[in-house]
Amino acid sequence: MGNVLTATRIFDGERFLTGHAVVVEGVRVTALLPLDQAPPPVRALDGTLVPAFLDLQVNGGGGVLVSGETGVADLERVCAAHRALGSAGVLPTLITDTPEATARVIAAGVAAARAGVPGFLGLHLEGPHLDPRRKGAHDPALIRPMDAADLDRLCRAARDLPALMVTLAPEAATSEQIHALSQAGAIVSLGHSDCPYDTALAAFRAGARCATHLFNAMSQLGHRSPGLVGAVLTGTCAAGLIADGVHVHPAAMALALAARPEGIFLVTDCMAFAGTDLTEMTLHGRQVLRRDGRLTLADGTLAGADLTLPDAVARLVRTLGISEARALRMASAIPAALIGRAGDYGAIRPGTRAEMLLLDRDMRVTERLGF
């Protein structure tokens, strides 16, 4: 990558600029200044230069599913697959599994962080402390309440990893446990929960500050029982959204985005299929099928998404009429802030990492720069 870049437009994380240039030294942006003040030589790019995307929920990629057998090389392969698709950084995600499997993945994550695996931002542990009534594709035989050993394991992981997101249901963890996790540095996210509205509010007061794949696998919004969806839409927590048009109807997405002008971010919830032509895989002994943009178990239960973040951004703009700036922030600045990496990602400004995407008029990635 050249040291000085200009483009048809540059999105700095807040606004679109024309007639500007980005100066890069090493892995960092050192200046964003008017083009006539930029030192030569300047590399001119045709398209819109934007901050690279971050995905906080990826169950796999490149043919690898995050599991109890995952090692550092597997995490590296998952991260590499998503970097090729436009996400500079990801949280590899382990869904509900045994305590032993969870411990092995945490150990692999700590080792990956120490090794500086490109794109590895930490881990997302989705379960096993969920509500079996909202299990989705999770194995109900492995779902269980949190105990003292689980809490200790997760608190240590939160201290040892760059970032740790833990999806849990408040039915399966006490307020004291949620508070302890939050104090240890974990991002507690409510999901796979059938909890009522007041229980969700209590969990947020205890320290939870996110919700996992909004609308999916959670108590829905009713006019007398607002559920977890209602708690998210009337609150201030962050919330991931799978914008593939399959998991959430466009009308429901529009309502959520109108109710919450800030805080909702994009995730793919993708599986090992990401970055491959695979059509089938196995999840805890069950077959997952890839057909017509959907990933399902044999009984039709959704099992992750067949989605990339650039596709999700483009869908929000084209289908819902969301502004380009907001859609881009939902894939970059908002997730970066949630995991405490706003100084590195989500913007093009002095000090941020020089990891950027070049998008064409249809918001397709034409070039990755710096990663």
- Tens-place pLDDT, residues 247-282: 999 999 999 999 999 999 999 999 999 999 999 999
Q: Which fold has domain 4-50+350-369?
A: Urease, subunit C; domain 1 (2.30.40)
Contact 331, 32 (CB under 8 A): no
Percentage, residues of the chain above pLDDT 70 = 99
Strands 210-211, 356-359: pairing kind: unpaired
- Report the candidate in 25, 29, 2, 26 with the shortest Cα–Cα distance to residue 13: 29
pLDDT confidence of residue 63 = 96
Does the CA dihedral 37-40-45-49 come out positive or negative? Answer: negative
Average pLDDT of the segment spanning 307-329: 97
Does the CA dihedral 186-188-189-193 come out positive or negative? Answer: positive
Q: What is the CA radius of gyration of the chain?
A: 20
Residue intervals of the chain classified under CATH 2.30.40.10 are 4-50+350-369
Confidence of residue 1 (pLDDT cuts 50, 70, 90): low
> What does the chain come to in residues?
371
Confidence of residue 2 (pLDDT cuts 50, 70, 90): low
Q: Which residues are catalytic?
A: 269
Q: In this structure, which CATH number among 3.60.15.10, 3.40.449.10, 3.40.50.10190, 3.20.20.140 belongs to the domain 53-338?
A: 3.20.20.140
Average pLDDT of the segment spanning 48-59: 98
Residue intervals of the chain classified under CATH 3.20.20.140 are 53-338
Cα 370 from chain centre: 20
Q: For residue 299, how many other CB atoms are within 10 A of its CB? A: 7
- The mean pLDDT value of the chain amounts to 97
Q: Is the pLDDT of residue 296 over 70?
A: yes
Alpha-carbon distance 252 to 261, whole Å? 14
Contact 210, 181 (CB under 8 A): no
pLDDT confidence of residue 208 = 98
Strands 53-58, 87-95: pairing kind: parallel
Read off the tokens for 220: 């829905």
